Each structure stands twice: as C-alpha cells, then as structure tokens.
Amino acid sequence: MEDEIPGVDDLFGVDDLSPSQPIPEVSVPITESIPEPNIQPADAEFMGEKGGVVTGKGRMEAAFGTGDGDEVATAQVAQVASEVQTGTIFHQVYRPWRGTLNSRWVRNWSILRYHIYGLFSKGHKPWPMMTKLVIFGVLIASIGDLLMLTVGAATGVEPIERLAGISRGNLYGHVLSFWFRNACTYPIVTALIIGGMISEDRRNGTSALYFSRPVNRRDYAAMKFLSVAIILSVIVLFTLSAYYLGAILVGGEGWSYVMDTGLMFLGAFIAGALLVFTYTSIGLALSSVSSGKFFPAVAFIGMILGTKMVAFLIWALFDSSAIYLISPYDNLAHVGQWMLGLNHTYEHPASWSLVMLITMNAISLYILSARVSSLEVTRE
C-alpha cells in the first residue's frame, strides 16, 4: 500500500490557477469592504476547553455596574461591558518631597503670622470686619488715659492731671478696673478672638492640613496660644506701657520719678500679664471643646461676667467673700491689689486667689492639650 503524501497544493487548497502562471490583477473598488466571517465564539473559549473558536477578540464581563441600580446591595454578574455605563478611572501618584524643609521655628512663625497679620493684611486669616472694628475701638479707648493726661498737661488744669496721672489706683484701674474695661472690653475682645481659633480647625478639617505637614501638636497649640496672647497684650500691656511712658514724657519727669513709680508699674504689668494668660487659656480651652464660633464666645463671657455677678449676689446675701474664688476676674483683681499694695476689698487671703488662678489655668491648659491631641490627622 502506497502512502499518500499530500502535496503543497493539497495543503493550501489552490484554485485552478497554477503557481507558475501569473496572477491577473483584479481592480477592486476601495469603497467595497471585505465582509468578516460571522463566527460565533463558543463559551468554551473562555473556559479553556477544546473546541472553542479563536477569533482574536476578547469579551469583558462587569461584576458591578456604575449606572442605575447601584443602590441595590446585590452583585450584577455576567453583564457585557458594552451594556454597562462605564466611569473614569483616575491614576494618582504620590511623590515624596525631596527638597529641604524650613526649620521648626519658621513653620511655627507661619502659623503665628497667619493669625496676627490677618487683622490688617490680606492673604492671611480672614477676620470679620466687626472683629477688626471692635479691637480698634478698644485699643483707642485703652489709650484714653494717655489722652486725658496730655490734655491736662497742655491746659494746666490740676484736677485733670491728678485724675489721670500715675498712681497706684490709676495703674490698677488701667488693667483690672471692672467698669469700663473688664466689663465691656477685655472679655468681649477675647471672646471675639478665641471664637473660632481652634473650633474652626476641628469643623473644617484644617487640623489635617496642619498635621500632615511637619508641625507637631505642641507647636500648634503654642502658636494658637501665642496668637491670642499677643493680640490681648497689645490692648492691655502695650497701652499700659504707653500710658506710663507718656506720663513721664508729658510731665518731663526725671529718674527720681521713675524710681518712685517703677515698682508700681511693674506690679501692674505683671497683673496685666496674668490677666492675658488667664483669659487666653480659658478661652482656648472653650474653643477646643466646640466646633463652632458662637458657643466659645458666649461661654467665655458667661464665665467671666456670670461668675462675677453670681459671686456678688451670694456675697450680698451671706456676707462671705470666699465665694469670689469661683470668679476668674475677682481672683485677678485680688492678686492685682496685693501686687500694687492697695487696700483689699476681699476678706479672704490673697494667696487663696493666687492658688485658684493657678488651678484654673492648669485645668484650662489640660483641656486644651487633651483636645488638641484628639484633633484629626486625616480628613475623610
């Protein structure tokens, strides 16, 4: 039996034309497309089984759709990709910072500058116009003692000079007088400043922006504290210093006058610094426990003026000045009287008021540190 060996023509199925004959050129119109064979791929092609027809094309099936029906908590399986409304896939690449970071103090300065420069410059914290006007009005009112002293020296009226001149009572009243300064100006200014100092960062997620940079929480809290303290110091301590130096210049006083009144001014300055520190710590503690601007401001005014009024009413009924220990203002006033050597208006010792001030500041700083440590690092 002879083996039938297939030839080349049998393998490729050549038509009547022999290979040796030239293939005639046939002009085919360009607009005519060659139809593709309609081959239905079998499902076995995707299962890896034998018998599937390979056509060079693939098929994608969507497990979950992106259009209507996503609210149904069931998987939509075996949908052809052409029947599913597809979305857009974003490719996001995070590149680490390769440059040189500024020093720690420069980063802290940026936080401090953001709050301070916002009072009179654009591009920083957008303080409300009402807050700016109130701070400016309180600053002008705090220099009123210096203006009265200047008028008295210019006119030569002795009662005006004696009324506005440097004395223990005037130095004490410039910082700690209940009416008009401590009742209507210092608490209101503090409430306007601390209203959104930390609460806005918690509400808007700005803390995530701070802590994603190389800023630790201790520096964050310190710069917030220093921002409020600087604004209050300009109103309280700067005007006190201007009042004292203005009295020396206007009256043409010498070194003997400075030696006589220097200790009184130093006592008033320390009392004012204690007032600034206490108001700042209490205000920031209230701001850190809230997520809005209204509650810290109202709570601060209520704590300063409310405790003063409640203590006054209880003292009038029971004739016991120890109740004034619940009032931050009265504790400051009592310590200020002791520093300036004035007659005390309180029956309990000044050391009690000093201990209560230290306790109030310690509690406020603890609340502030605890709340700052719980601020979010990422924003969902």
- Give the model confidence (pLDDT) of 295-308 as tens digits: 899 999 999 999 99
Alpha-carbon dihedral 356, 357, 363, 366, rounded to 10 degrees? -150
Determine, yes or no, domain membership for 65. Answer: no
Determine, yes or no, domain membership for 75. Answer: no
Average confidence (pLDDT) over 164-171: 86
* Domains of the chain: total: 1
Other residues' Cβ atoms within 10 Å of the Cβ of residue 200: 18
Determine, yes or no, domain membership for 367. Answer: yes
Look up the pTM and report it. Answer: 0.71
| Contact status, residue 232 vs residue 182, Cβ threshold 8 Å | no
Residue 154: per-residue pLDDT? 81
Determine, yes or no, domain membership for 13. Answer: no
Average confidence (pLDDT) over 55-63: 49
Structural domain of 253: 105-373
Residue 87: per-residue pLDDT? 63
Determine, yes or no, domain membership for 22. Answer: no
The per-residue DSSP string of 64-90 comes to S-SSTTTTS-S---SEEGGGS------
Residue 145: per-residue pLDDT? 84
Determine, yes or no, domain membership for 331. Answer: yes
Cα(335)–Cα(19) distance, integer angstroms:
119
Determine, yes or no, domain membership for 62. Answer: no
Range in 22-36, 185-199, 349-363 the model is least confident about: 22-36
Q: Which two tokens stand for residue 24?
A: 């005639």
| Contact status, residue 218 vs residue 122, Cβ threshold 8 Å | no
* Residues of the chain by 3-state class (helix, strand, coil), percent to 5: 60, 0, 35
**For the segment 125-150, what is each residue's pLDDT rounded down to a tens digit?**
889 899 999 999 999 988 888 888 88
Please provide residue 92's backbone torsions phi and psi, each rounded to the nearest 5 degrees: -115, 130
Determine, yes or no, domain membership for 347. Answer: yes
pLDDT band at 234 (very low <50, low <70, confident <90, very high): very high
pLDDT band at 86 (very low <50, low <70, confident <90, very high): low
Cα(303)–Cα(216) distance, integer angstroms:
30
